[in-house]
Amino acid sequence: MPLILISGYPSSGKTYRSNQLVESFKSKIQASSDARISRLTVCHINHQSLGLDRHVYREARTEKDARATEYSAVKRALGKDTIVVADGLNYIKGFRYQLYCEAKALQTPSCVVHVGTPVDTCREINTRLLENDSKEGGYAVDIFDNLIYRYEEPNGMTRWDSPLFTVPYDDEGPPCQDIWDAMIGSEGKAKTVKPNLATMMKPATESDHLYELDKTSQEILNVIMKWQKDHPGEGGGELPEAEGTIELPANPVSLPQLQRVRRQFISLNRLHSVPKTRIRSSFIEYLNDNLI
């Protein structure tokens, strides 16, 4: 069932907003006479429920383990009659992308709720929590600064961060009704999502998987660079390829920019392997999402 991915700076109020959302959804479920709705439950997954400590962010290894724990908890809960609220920093774009793929593979919708508390307010809250030695939270200052620095803000233009709901600090609550409509449907009809190429991925068995990822994505980059060279000054363009159309943005794309997206794609698909026959189309899809 649907995935609601919460994202925000450290101490921005992610749990505060998640609790509001969970309460609102529970009331809706309780009040519904539709059997498809009343059998739903809401699963709120966060550091507390997973027994994780904020110190995991001090080291790359412990942070990676914590992310893997969150990932498996979300994946497990998604398969049931459950609305999953993944309340975490979820600050890495690639991590949000992977969770989006998990939801999509189950043909269930997902959205991102960005807790848009400004940095200075987060810092004030964090300082207050630290001073009060609160059990509620508070990050060591260096960890807090580092997480702010690394935060990759959700972008509603990309498939995996959309629909995107932003909650300003002064708002009374998140737009619960809009989120409910997007995830469950205004008529209470369970929403389903069509799988796409990026989500129909199966673990690769080919031993040359990495080689293929590298080679195919480089070929696509060469096509783009050649097109840009042959069409100087032409803003944007659509390059029909055998397995998808590359949509180039109005401004020319530099090679380092393309290489960055390519590296991201390769590292994402090392974990979430795309079959050899779909590498080309998946990479085109990924480029189109990232070159806007």
**Residue from the set 11, 90, 108, 217 that interacts with ligand ATP by CB under 6 A:** 11
**Residue from the set 3, 4, 5, 12 that interacts with ligand ATP by CB under 6 A:** 12
Q: What is the number of residues in the chain? A: 292
Binding mask 122-151 for ligand ATP (x = CB under 6 A): ---x----------xx--------------
**Residue from the set 2, 10, 154, 174 that interacts with ligand ATP by CB under 6 A:** 10
If the CB atoms of residues 15 and 269 are measured against ligand ATP, the closer one turns out to be 15
CA distance 133 to 112: 31
Cα torsion 257, 259, 265, 270 to 10°: value is -150
| 16 part of the interface to ligand ATP, by CB under 6 A | yes
If the CB atoms of residues 85 and 246 are measured against ligand ATP, the closer one turns out to be 85
List the beta bridge partners of residue 238: 247
| 69 part of the interface to ligand ATP, by CB under 6 A | no
Residue 36 token pair: 């498809």
If the CB atoms of residues 167 and 213 are measured against ligand ATP, the closer one turns out to be 167
Cα–Cα distances in angstroms (integers) from residue 263 to residues 52, 95, 223, in the given order: 30, 15, 17
- Window contacting ligand ATP (CB under 6 A); options: 13-21, 69-77, 99-107, 226-234: 13-21
**Residue from the set 92, 145, 159, 169 that interacts with ligand ATP by CB under 6 A:** 169
**187 CB-contact burial (10 Å; exposed 0-12 / middle 13-18 / buried 19+):** exposed
| 13 part of the interface to ligand ATP, by CB under 6 A | yes
- Window contacting ligand ATP (CB under 6 A); options: 12-20, 192-200, 239-247, 262-270: 12-20
If the CB atoms of residues 74 and 246 are measured against ligand ATP, the closer one turns out to be 74
| 90 part of the interface to ligand ATP, by CB under 6 A | no
Q: Note the residues at the interface with ligand ATP (CB under 6 A).
A: 8, 10-16, 54, 125, 136-137, 169
